[in-house]
Every structure is written in C-alpha cells, then in structure tokens.
Structure 1
C-alpha cells in the first residue's frame, strides 16, 4: 500500500485516529479551521457519515441487531462510498483532505470484535494510505473523563457492551478501549503513525500538529486560486 503522495496525486490526505475521548475530533477540527483561514483548499470527511448507509447503521445500533461481521461490512460500504465519490476525486483535484478516522479504525475495532484481520484488511485493500496519520494516545481514564464531561453516560457500542465484557459499562469501556489501544500500537510502526500525547492540553497538541503538517506538506501549493479581474 502506498500513500497518495507516492502515487503522484496532487492532493494530500491527513487522517486522525485514537480511542473514543482521545480528542482526535477536536484536533482535526482545529487543524481544518487553521488551514481554511490560510485560504487553502480543504475537504473534511468523518467516519460513518455516508448518506448511503448512515440511516441503516443508526437503526441497527438502536435495535442492537448488528453482528461484528455486519458492523464491519456496513462501515466498509460507508467508507467505500465516501472514498470513491469524495476523497479520491478531491485528492486528484489538489485538495487537502482531512479524515476523522480512516481504515485503521476498522482494522482495530473489527478485529477486537472478532473479525479475522486478513479478512478486514482485504475488504479495504482498495484504499491507499494517508500521507500523514496522527494517532492521539490518551490514558483510558483521561478519555473516559472527557466523554463524561460532555454527557451523562457512555454509549452502548463505545463501551463495548455488545461484547459482554462486563455488566458495568465503565469497566467494559476500560477493557474494550484497552484492547483497541493494543491494536493501534501494534499497527503504529507498520503504518508509520505520528503519535501525539493526547494527555497534553488541547493548545499544546494543536501547536505540534500544525508544525508537523507544515513541515511535511507544502501548504502554499494548496492555496485557492484568486479571481483575476480584467479591466475592459
């Protein structure tokens, strides 16, 4: 698998990964705003957001009908739809594409839920690698506290309750997310993740993220073309 830069695409893809509550979504949103303020061509896409399958996923979650295999296939369909209709065309058009989670989410979550790794990777074999993948590594208690500071309780699937790990959602969260962390760390060298200490303050993380992006990508080349006014 190659990155989009290695394949000669004019655009670049930046992805963020991390456990629930790691702050990855906050960081990529701040990065998006920073790039937009500079007048750059930016497109944002998030996991499980394709209109094609979003409603089916939502209904399946509410009724707790999704098996690990069904979960995996639905998310793969979502990703494939966004990849073919949005990500690749915009990368060919020279955009900076930001993804809140990428194929590594499936590699971690689906396999922890029991799907064979080779099978999961085979489903996503059509996808190229991001040019930068940030992994936000936060302590489990930090992630848990961040989630609960924004809402009263954990969601069923983020706590891994479907896996029957524990009747206590908080203990289930720790076990499930701990297993995800192990999978992510196992992939970090293979896929050259840039690991960010997500226990740090938001501002400190964002400063580092911006420095790393600016060092690896020639941002000026992604400036939107200014309209040329010709006097008649």
Structure 2
C-alpha cells in the first residue's frame, strides 16, 4: 500500500499508560498541523465495539477469544485504518497485532508463530510503521488498576507471561518495536515518544522529497 499516512501503535499491559501517551501524542501532532485518527482494539467501529464488549465481559475458551480479536482486527483494519492511511492521516492505535501474540500466544499458550500468520491474514499484512511498547512489571500494572477486566483477572502469572511475550517480540522486531520503561513519570515518557514519532515522520518527509527528485 502506497500512502503518506503512518500507523503508530501502542502496546503493553493495562496500567502501563497507553491511553495517556496516545492522548498526549495526538495533542502534539494536531498542534503541529497533522491530521490524526485514534482507534483501538478490539474496537474501531460498531462491529469492533460489540466484539470488545463480548471479549472483556464474557468468559470463553482461548481459541474463541483469539478468533474474536482477529475478527475485530480485520474489520478495524479494512474499514477504519486503511482508508485513513490512504488519505495521508496518521493513525494512532491502542493495541494491534502484537497484543494477540503477547496475550493469546504467550499468555494463553496458543502458538505465537501461528498467531502471527493469522494476524497477517486478518490485516492483509498491514504492519505498523512504529510500535511503542510501554514496559511495566505486572504487579505495578495491577496496582494501578481501579477496575479490572477479564484479562487482568487472569492473574499475575498470566500477565508475567504476557510481558515476557512483548519483550520477546521487541527483540524479534527491534526496528519497529521500541521499548520504553513505563515506571517513569508520564511527561518523561511523552518526550521519548515524541522523539521516536518525529524521527519516523522526518524519515517519511525525506523519502517523499527524494521521490520527487
């Protein structure tokens, strides 16, 4: 897919500050004149939001859980993300392909490699330009939560496996996934997020200019 849009995703366990950092980044980008779309997974449109309600509230077997996440992702990618990217919009997504690998692959022990292949099918191989992994020890994440959904209620051992899965993904894809220590103050993390994002956008500008020469 050829476009001037960029897909930036935020990953990490709940409590790591994804929503906070995404919101702060959106404000900065909009202040600088960029058009920004914010979405989330599961979610994105009416179909995805209904799937989200089921996933976070209803008990189900791990394979059904995975397939529902993938269904929401397929819908969100095709209906929300791709059209925005094609219009040159910067898309900020709260969770994306890496969440399924970490939570269902490593957390639920459902073969991470298979899930990566299924992600490719669900998204038609759409990979983020940049993934910001906010790394946090699960015990701190649980302490920060005032309301726990079904994933957090799975317990500390489950979340430790999820965190390990994220860190293994960061080792596997170091150019795309950038890991930040989420134990630090939000404003300090925000500065690092902005540095990474504007490095990405500067690279896009250079590529665009080069293509016109």
TM-score computed with the length of structure 1 as normaliser: 0.78
Structure 2 gap segments, 5+ residues each: 206-213
Q: Distance in 1 between matches of 2:204 and 2:169?
A: 31
Determine the structure 2 residue equivalent to 1:182: 164
1:10 aligns with 2:25: no
Q: Distance in 2 between matches of 1:34 and 1:106?
A: 29
1:107 aligns with 2:101: yes
Determine the structure 2 residue equivalent to 1:40: 34
Greater CA radius of gyration, 1 or 2? 1
Structure 1 gap segments, 5+ residues each: 1-6, 161-171, 222-232
Describe how 1:192-231 pairs up with structure 2 within 5 A.
192=174, 193-218=177-202
Choose between structure 1 and 2: higher helix proportion: 2
Determine the structure 2 residue equivalent to 1:52: 47
Q: Distance in 2 between matches of 1:89 and 1:181?
A: 32
Contact 1:91 1:97 in 2 (8 A): yes
1:79 aligns with 2:70: no
Per the alignment, do residues 93 and 59 of structure 1 end up closer, same or farther by CA in structure 2, a change over 3 Å counting? closer
Aligned alpha-carbon RMSD (Å) = 2.0
Query: Cα deviations across residues 33-80 of structure 1 (Å, max 9, x unaligned)?
Result: 11112221111110111311433552465342x211111111111011
TM-score computed with the length of structure 2 as normaliser: 0.85
Q: Distance in 1 between matches of 2:134 and 2:153?
A: 19
Q: Distance in 2 between matches of 1:176 and 1:97?
A: 30
Q: Distance in 1 between matches of 2:12 and 2:171?
A: 15
Question: Number of residue pairs matched?
Answer: 198
